Amino acid sequence: MRWGMVINLKKCTRCHACIAACRIEHFLPMGMNWPRLIAWETDVPGEELTTIPVRCNQCKDAPCVEVCPAEATKKREDGIVYVDNDICVGCRYCIIACPYQNRTFLSRDKDPGYFPGYERTRFEKAGRKIYPHVVGTTEKCDFCMERIDAGLAKGLVPGKDREATPACVNTCQSRALTFGDLDDPESEVSKLIKEQNAFQLHPEYGTDPAVYYIDGKIGNAPSNIAPREEQTASHIQHLSTMEERAKQIFGKK
């Protein structure tokens, strides 16, 4: 059994709901990102950007596992790579070694609380009991392994039953994210990979990522690009919170 994900870029509407769902699910600190949506400028006038969801690829031959001097980064039998924050020494070699840059070091300034200068809210405090988010250690996406484990214990099937499926997959309104067992040829992910020629990021590194992408045109003319005006309101709203300049641009509109 090896858990994997297929991201269909043709279906992604760039709503950022997966980012929000992960943040809520794991009570992520303010400056921490597990999954990301990265924007890619195209050369086509009028079609300025496309957005690609990225997260830890849960590589089969994960460089982060090999380089960790404290064996804090571990790989489970089901292929999920996770960080044991009680062991991590915070040397950041895993961050350097990850060719996909999908790890983040939780420094003190990345964890100011959601209301900096004020005491943590009850919600934040409750979250810290479930996910301690140890400052001085490294974090990354773990495919919501707690949900998977709890779901499997109840006899549920990750990828099919919501309770056993990663939060980002559950929340994706356009069903761009599909989760399942890569080793099962009958699983939806295996079929998608086979039928739609899904590809991995930088396969030449030999890491064999468990996250696949569907978009026959990527690298040339991505199929999910759209003029900025056609982007969803939530996307615009999210971006507008990211940078002062964006506020100015959208403020004028």
Residue ranges that bind another protein, judged by CB under 8 A: 36-41, 48-49, 51-52, 54, 63, 65-72, 87-93, 95-101, 105-107, 134-138, 201-202, 205-207, 218-220, 228, 239, 242-243, 245-246, 249
Phi first, then psi, for residue 130 (nearest 5°) are -85, -45
In this complex, which beta carbon is closest to another protein, that of residue 151 or of residue 212?
212
Measured distance CA(127)–CA(103) in Å, rounded: 21
Residue 94 Cβ, how far from another protein at the closest point, in Å? 10
Residue 78 Cβ, how far from another protein at the closest point, in Å? 21
Q: Which amino acid is at 128?
A: R
Residue 219 Cβ, how far from another protein at the closest point, in Å? 4
| Residues contacting 69, CB < 8 A, separation 6+ | 89, 91, 93
Residue 53 Cβ, how far from another protein at the closest point, in Å? 11
Measured distance CA(63)–CA(93) in Å, rounded: 10
- CA distances to 13, 127, 187, 242 from 31, in Å: 24, 16, 35, 12
| Residues contacting 204, CB < 8 A, separation 6+ | none
Residue 136 Cβ, how far from another protein at the closest point, in Å? 3
In this complex, which beta carbon is closest to another protein, that of residue 87 or of residue 130?
87
In this complex, which beta carbon is closest to another protein, that of residue 84 or of residue 163?
84
Q: Any bridge partners for residue 213, and if so which?
A: 7, 199
In this complex, which beta carbon is closest to another protein, that of residue 50 or of residue 190?
50
In this complex, which beta carbon is closest to another protein, that of residue 134 or of residue 156?
134
Beta-strand pair 211-214/3-8: parallel
Question: Do the Cβ atoms of 173 and 13 come closer than 8 Å?
Answer: yes
In this complex, which beta carbon is closest to another protein, that of residue 37 or of residue 192?
37
- CA distances to 74, 218, 235 from 229, in Å: 43, 22, 11
Residue 193 Cβ, how far from another protein at the closest point, in Å? 17
